[in-house]
Amino acid sequence: MKLLFTEEQEMMRKMVRDFAQTEIAPFVESMEEGEFPREIIKKMAELGLMGITIPEEYGGSNMDFTSYIIAINELSKVSATVGVILSVHTSVGTNPILYFGNEEQKRKYVPKLAAGEYLGAFCLTEPSAGSDAASLKTRAVKQGDQYIINGSKVFITNGGEADTYVVFASTNPEAGSKGISAFIVEKGTPGLIIGKDEDKMGLHGSRTVQLTFEDMVVPAENLLGEEGQGFKIAMANLDVGRIGIASQSLGIAEAALEAATEYAKERVQFGKPIAAQQGVGFKLADMATGVEAAKLLVYRAANLRALGLPCGKEASMAKLYASRTAVEVTTEAIQVFGGYGYTKDYPVERYFRDAKVTEIYEGTSEIQRIVISKQLIK
């Protein structure tokens, strides 16, 4: 399979690449210090990036899925923080409302999310329900025309910054995964308590918080889809979301490969550039091969999605492989830089820290293997 992109997709790549260089690169350091990139999000919204794949009638840019994946990839080469903010906002923050919301919900929320006026978040994971998402304990009880929700969530990307949260809670605990329902919860809802902001190893500019729901009152009209449909809503959107994380992983790996190659061409030891020493040259060759293979899997999954074909298995393969590549390539990039790579004077230590979580969030590598193997034996 040859990777061929349309003129429009190439234009998207160039536009986002230029944007990332001029508007994001200067702020990488402040994000590293923990600053949430509000201004960057505003500028991304002006370019239509907060609603790339959203249809025009709901205020989006109406572009194809591959263009979205290209955007995540280019953003992540410069800042994996910005990459994950956009990925979560789009694939699990906005799309569940677009695909499972009724017309009123779609009209109320999607245009604001697509315009970047609202930022989206997704609340599935709980302290004792991570990989085993169906075992969540958060409870939603219907009282008249409201649901009263109690429980807690952890590792919520964009939490505390988001305007809408897609929250998963059980409306029927006896029914297991079939008793889970999804709700749209607005920022400022009484009983929505923003908790600890996690002090993470990487992605320092992205916000990851704990949330507590204490008798949180959500109007019944904010139920997404039907009662009991929540787990399928979560899984269906994660299927696609994983391609975004795979693309983020690819972006990190590409950035690390580029930095290591440039450094290896300049750094002279034993009388010649280290790139010309076989030990380093072979390393670069393996890194480049991994990146290329990841690229094929990422764009293959994106292409299936763009054509509206089933892509769950391919999305998981792309995420599994690209995240592992990101960890391997960033580790090797540090090795190429030697002692300098272990300092904050060069970006490779950040790439390494940012890469690790791609093997964990939106389903660990072990979960991706479960998804892939279930599809194989189905």
| Nearer to ligand CAA among residue 62 and residue 163 (C-beta) | 163
Active-site residue flag, 362: yes
CB of 135 to ligand CAA, least distance (A): 8
Q: Which is nearer to ligand CAA, 115 or 360 (CB)?
A: 360
Residue with Cβ nearer ligand CAA (146 or 375): 375
Shortest spacing between CB 335 and ligand CAA, in angstroms: 28
Catalytic residue among 46, 214, 362, 366: 362
Binding site for ligand CAA (CB under 6 A): 84, 88, 92, 122, 124-125, 131, 133-134, 155, 157, 177, 231-232, 235-236, 238-239, 312, 361-363, 367, 370-371
Q: Of the two residues 49 and 245, which places its CB atom closer to ligand CAA in the complex? A: 245
Tell me, letter by letter, the H, E, C secondary structure of the chain.
CCCCCCHHHHHHHHHHHHHHHHHHHHHHHHHHCCCCCHHHHHHHHHCCHHHCCCCHHHCCCCCCHHHHHHHHHHHHHHCHHHHHHHHHHHHHHHHHHHHHCCHHHHHHHHHHHHCCCCCEEEECCECCECCCHHHCCCEEEEECCEEEEEEEEEEEECCCCCCEEEEEEECCHHHHHHHEEEEEEECCCCCEEEEEECCCCCCCCCCEEEEEEEEEEEEHHHEECCCCCHHHHHHHHHHHHHHHHHHHHHHHHHHHHHHHHHHHHHCEECCEEHHHCHHHHHHHHHHHHHHHHHHHHHHHHHHHHHCCCCCHHHHHHHHHHHHHHHHHHHHHHHHHHHHHHHCCCCCHHHHHHHHHHHHCCCCCHHHHHHHHHHHHHC
Residues 86 and 155: beta-carbon distance below 8 Å: no
Q: Which helix (H) or strand (E) holds 197?
A: strand 192-197
> What is the nearest approach in angstroms of ligand CAA to the Cβ of residue 125?
5
Q: Which of 152, 130, 133, 155 is nearest to 206 (CA)?
A: 155
Q: How far is the CB of 265 from ligand CAA (least distance, A)?
A: 35
Tell me whether residue 47 or residue 235 sits nearer to ligand CAA (CB atom): 235
Residue closer to ligand CAA (CB basis): 32 or 239:
239
CB of 153 to ligand CAA, least distance (A): 10
CB of 92 to ligand CAA, least distance (A): 6
Could you give the residue numbers annotated as active site? 362
